[in-house]
Amino acid sequence: MFDTVAVVGATGAVGTIILDLLEKRNFPAKNFRLLASARSAGKQLQLAGKTITIEELTHDCFEGVDLVIASTPDDTAAEYLPSAVKAGAKVIDESGYWRMNPDVALVVPEINPEAALNAQGIIASPNCSTTQMVLAMKPLHDAGKIRRVIVSTYQATSGAGLQGNIDLQEGTRAALDGADYEYKAFAHPIAFNAIPQIGSHKEQGYTSEEMKMVYETRKILGDETIMVCPTCVRIPVSNCHSESILVETEKPISVDEAKALFAATPGITVVDDLDASSYPMPSNSTSSDEVYIGRIRKDLSNPNGLAFWCVSDNLRKGAATNAVQIAELLARGV
Ligand code: A2P
């Protein structure tokens, strides 16, 4: 139980869902405080039956706060969250800034809850495309030790913030009308297109989004030997990231074994009947906290390979839900 919980970035795409989850899941806290930029200060939001006035995020605003759940741009997290730690609060951060810092725990509660419980400073929530993949990898890694993963993502425009979805809708309308549209969240038209770049060029021809999938996966699973080859692509779908994943394990895993392992993992739902055209898609996975897996099949080119399709709501398990689950874990203390 925490006395005072502050949600930083309460007005954002993920922050709004965090508020909704705190209320729906009856998060145990006496007081909630909502923080955002000076642009939003003074506006009011509803949470747990109370009207709460949004306060401006400052270095001094964390006095008396026990737990911070933050979802802001990286530079805001970099600047302000150390002040929250100094003020004695537990801090859960959804931004990308702190994740690979060696003093920061990077947590998916179903995988490494002890990292959150033992953390001294900031606890980071992983990148959305990493979270759903590592949750799928965990039972296979435990059963057969994953040596290598080849993953291609099909990522929704909501991952680029509220402006991403505005660009999808307005850009599509303009394209159908034969009109011009100036994209703000994307470097190329997203309407009727697929863009094989998310983030900046990081290293060796891989983007920052792709390298997050490499480094964060190893940190969360606690295994620096896992090889990951990612390709991240933005597609014209408003919500839910889809991933085509091929894992190679030291010990071969059969399709039936994999189905049973996935089905027994909390947070994973198997939807897999090709003959009935039944598999996860963004349209049947949105607004859910689950990671959905289907199209489970052997790699035809390698007896140690297993291929599957994985879809999850990037704003929920990929962001808000994972952060709130970490908060619930801290509140329980076990
Ligand atoms: P605000 O709405 O006042 O700009 P999004 O998911 O839409 O990108 O939202 C990011 C969240 O981070 C919003 O709540 C936004 O608040 C907040 N934010 C962005 N920049 C700052 C800042 N410099 N200081 C405090 N909060 C910020």
Buried b (16+ CB within 10 A) or exposed e, 60-80: ebbeebbbbbbbbeeebbeeb
Q: Is 314 annotated as a binding residue?
A: yes
Query: How far is the centre of ligand 1, averaged over its atoms, from the C-alpha of 72 (Å)?
Result: 5
Condensed to tens digits (0 to 9), the pLDDT of residues 81-140 reads 999 999 999 999 999 999 999 999 999 999 999 999 999 989 999 999 999 999 999 999
My answer on whether 13 and 42 are in the same domain is yes
Distances (CA, A) of 61 to 8, 58, 97, 202: 11, 5, 21, 35
Condensed to tens digits (0 to 9), the pLDDT of residues 265-295 reads 999 999 999 999 999 999 999 999 999 999 9
Q: Which of 276, 277, 255, 282 is nearest to 132 (CA)?
A: 282
My answer on whether 153 and 278 are in the same domain is yes
Strand (E) or helix (H) holding 143: helix 128-144
**Alpha-carbon span 226 to 172, nearest angstrom:** 39
pLDDT at position 334, please? 85
Burial, 117: exposed, middle or buried (Cβ in 10 Å; 0-12, 13-18, 19+)? middle
Q: Report the share of the chain in percent with pLDDT over 70.
A: 100
My answer on whether 219 and 309 are in the same domain is yes
Cβ neighbour number for residue 269 with a 10 Å cutoff: 17
Assess contact for 99 and 92: CB atoms under 8 A: no
- Three-class SS state of 267: coil
What are the residue numbers of the active site? Answer: 128, 241
Assess contact for 142 and 220: CB atoms under 8 A: no
Number of domains composing the chain:
2
Look up residue 102 and give its amino acid. Answer: P
In sequence order, what are the residues at sequence separation of 6 or more whose Cβ sits closer than 8 angstroms to the Cβ of residue 269? 290, 291, 292, 293
Give the ligand 1 atom nearest the CA of 162: 7
Query: How far is the centre of ligand 1, averaged over its atoms, from the C-alpha of 124 (Å)?
Result: 18
**Alpha-carbon span 58 to 50, nearest angstrom:** 23
**Alpha-carbon span 206 to 222, nearest angstrom:** 22
My answer on whether 206 and 310 are in the same domain is yes
My answer on whether 77 and 161 are in the same domain is no
Give the ligand 1 atom nearest the CA of 163: 7
pLDDT band at 162 (very low <50, low <70, confident <90, very high): confident
My answer on whether 135 and 71 are in the same domain is no
Burial, 176: exposed, middle or buried (Cβ in 10 Å; 0-12, 13-18, 19+)? exposed
Query: How far is the centre of ligand 1, averaged over its atoms, from the C-alpha of 13 (Å)?
Result: 9
pLDDT band at 319 (very low <50, low <70, confident <90, very high): very high
Q: Report the share of the chain in percent with pLDDT over 90.
A: 98
My answer on whether 163 and 275 are in the same domain is yes
Tokens of 300: 């035809």
Q: Is 33 annotated as a binding residue?
A: no
Q: Is 39 annotated as a binding residue?
A: yes
Q: What is the mean pLDDT of the chain?
A: 97
Whose structure tokens read 């090889």? 227
Beta pairing class for 206-207 and 146-155: unpaired
Ligand 1, residues at Cβ distance < 6 Å:
9-15, 36-37, 39-40, 57, 72-73, 76, 161-162
My answer on whether 142 and 282 are in the same domain is yes
My answer on whether 64 and 100 are in the same domain is yes
- Torsion angles phi and psi, residue 118, rounded to 5: -95, -5
Q: Is 278 annotated as a binding residue?
A: no
At residue 138's C-alpha, the angle toward residues 221 and 230, to 5°, is 70
- Torsion angles phi and psi, residue 88, rounded to 5: 95, 10
My answer on whether 143 and 36 are in the same domain is no
Query: How far is the centre of ligand 1, averaged over its atoms, from the C-alpha of 54 (Å)?
Result: 12
Assess contact for 240 and 312: CB atoms under 8 A: yes
- Torsion angles phi and psi, residue 230, rounded to 5: -100, 150
**Alpha-carbon span 65 to 274, nearest angstrom:** 50
pLDDT at position 210, please? 98
pLDDT at position 239, please? 98
- Torsion angles phi and psi, residue 146, rounded to 5: -75, 130
**E strand intervals along 79-131:** 90-93, 105-106, 122-124
Residue-number span of the structural domain to which 8 is assigned: 2-125+319-333
pLDDT at position 296, please? 99
pLDDT at position 1, please? 81
**E strand intervals along 194-304:** 201-203, 206-207, 227-234, 241-249, 268-270, 291-298
My answer on whether 213 and 284 are in the same domain is yes
Question: Domain with 231 in it: what CATH number?
Answer: 3.30.360.10
According to DSSP, the residues that pair with 206 across neighbouring strands are 203
Assess contact for 52 and 33: CB atoms under 8 A: yes
Assess contact for 36 and 27: CB atoms under 8 A: no
My answer on whether 36 and 135 are in the same domain is no
Question: Domain with 90 in it: what CATH number?
Answer: 3.40.50.720
